[in-house]
Structure 1
């Protein structure tokens, strides 16, 4: 499945090392993942979410706060019955693991640019094929996947079209208009809502949309702090503002837009 990120020729696994015919090699880490992000594809020394953000997201997601989203995505994919899929921007593997459980006979791959996140994901879900890689230069052969899942992750339409099989599917999740609106109201005087426009993706036809809305009713400030820490809005809060907001233990609105596309070219 993997291509060499340096020369785009197939990688073959030889014991614990992936090798291509041009003698480029990539060791499998002891946790089971492979790092296919060469230095020239990095934008920083340690790209992706930092350890604090990853830990906060792991704590929050493992507590089940976003379980309805994982269930909704799994139900949509189960109807498609893909032979394999890629979780693009898999982070620490929460959604990837949920999909593995729901789609028991599907080969599942996960990639993320964060080595810290992939390391944890590979430890937690050993049956899934994880790699550190760029979503803009996917280390996979053309027409590799029956489905790709993209939850919040940035990507490149040309790369999605390259790795998804003809008539294969792309499932995306983006924030809806009222997502985390209470958090925004604590920061901004004038709150701008997320757009609910359906994004066109070159090479794909939009098939359907589901909107998932619910409220998070917290009992402990620590759970609120974990949510704040894992989202980009965290940078807008001072430490004091975070604690003040968390101490109110607010009801927080969650609003997701789940879109299903099919590759047409």
Structure 2
């Protein structure tokens, strides 16, 4: 199983250091081992996705193990699903590969793909985790054939339900992770005058049945530098004033709660 062309949607075949489709569209493999399947006409900006600074902050925070319980929970969900030795799984919005490589290591014999719109994140991921096949691509135009994936993992990443239904095999799985109502309340309290709970989960995936819901929450004890890295990797970093960054950086310890919602969907036959 390999990629499909993002321009004409025909299968891509690897020839040495390039992927080529029957229409002769060609995509070269970078020296780090990933392939860029995001044509210029599909970009919304010159360098979409996380910047190098954001990627490095996320890698530092994740490498410290603060979100490992979330990663372990998803690994356990994947292990509990029936599969085969030639199964294919895809991590959408994989960033620098923290979750993706754990999926590959836990599911020996499976082919694991990681996809992100950020070139700098995929370059770092491919350099560090050669056991995963990484690509730069849009999560709204998945460069894979119909019914080609046994499971797709989507941690905080957007993706059209129609694309998930197209790419996942009948009987296959989509595993999503989203913020629970009280996720990062203490961090938000430094930024907003009124802290609102995240809205409860209401997502519906056409073509899928929700088979399992898991609530996961725990307290984190962060160093000031880790709290800064956490803020930098969140969407509300743009709202944080200079004094918030300074306050976090000066703390010897910052307690912050997590609240994750994991949902396991099965594709209808």
Structure 2 length normalisation: TM-score? Answer: 0.96
1-structure distance, mates of 2:254, 2:63: 20
Cα deviation for residue 187 of structure 1 reads 1.4
- Mapping for residues 115-134 of structure 1, pairs under 5 Å: 115-134=119-138
1-structure distance, mates of 2:109, 2:218: 30
Partner SS, residue 30 of structure 2: coil
1:20 alignment partner in structure 2: 21
Partner SS, residue 177 of structure 1: coil
1:238 aligns with 2:241: yes
1:41 alignment partner in structure 2: 42
Partner SS, residue 71 of structure 1: helix
Of 83, 88, 106, the residue aligned with 1:84 is: 88
1:57 alignment partner in structure 2: 58
Of 106, 116, 119, the residue aligned with 1:112 is: 116
1-structure distance, mates of 2:191, 2:241: 10
Cα deviation for residue 3 of structure 1 reads 0.6
Structure 1 length normalisation: TM-score? Answer: 0.97
Asked if 2 retains the 8 angstrom alpha-carbon contact of 1:186 and 1:245, the reply is: no
2:8 alignment partner in structure 1: 7
| Runs of at least 5 residues in structure 2 that lack an aligned partner in the other structure | none
1:257 alignment partner in structure 2: 261
Asked if 2 retains the 8 angstrom alpha-carbon contact of 1:31 and 1:123, the reply is: yes
2-structure distance, mates of 1:239, 1:192: 22
| Cα-to-partner distance string for 1:194-219 (whole Å, 9 max, x where unaligned) | 1223411111111110000001112x
Cα deviation for residue 246 of structure 1 reads 3.8
Cα deviation for residue 98 of structure 1 reads 1.2
Partner SS, residue 160 of structure 1: helix
1:68 alignment partner in structure 2: 69
Asked if 1 retains the 8 angstrom alpha-carbon contact of 2:151 and 2:174, the reply is: yes
- Mapping for residues 140-179 of structure 1, pairs under 5 Å: 140-179=144-183
Partner SS, residue 214 of structure 1: strand
| Cα-to-partner distance string for 1:108-148 (whole Å, 9 max, x where unaligned) | 00100000000001011111110000011111000010100
What stretches of structure 1 move > 4 A for 4+ residues in a row?
Answer: none
Partner SS, residue 187 of structure 1: coil
The root-mean-square deviation of aligned C-alpha atoms, in Å, is 1.1
Asked if 1 retains the 8 angstrom alpha-carbon contact of 2:184 and 2:259, the reply is: yes
2-structure distance, mates of 1:21, 1:65: 46
Cα deviation for residue 184 of structure 1 reads 1.0
Bigger CA drift: 134-143 or 102-111?
102-111
1:221 aligns with 2:205: no
1:247 aligns with 2:250: yes
Partner SS, residue 59 of structure 2: helix
1:196 alignment partner in structure 2: 200
Corresponding residue pairs, total: 264
| Cα-to-partner distance string for 1:45-100 (whole Å, 9 max, x where unaligned) | 00001111111001100111111010000001001143220001100000001111
| Runs of at least 5 residues in structure 1 that lack an aligned partner in the other structure | none
Partner SS, residue 227 of structure 1: helix
2-structure distance, mates of 1:241, 1:108: 39
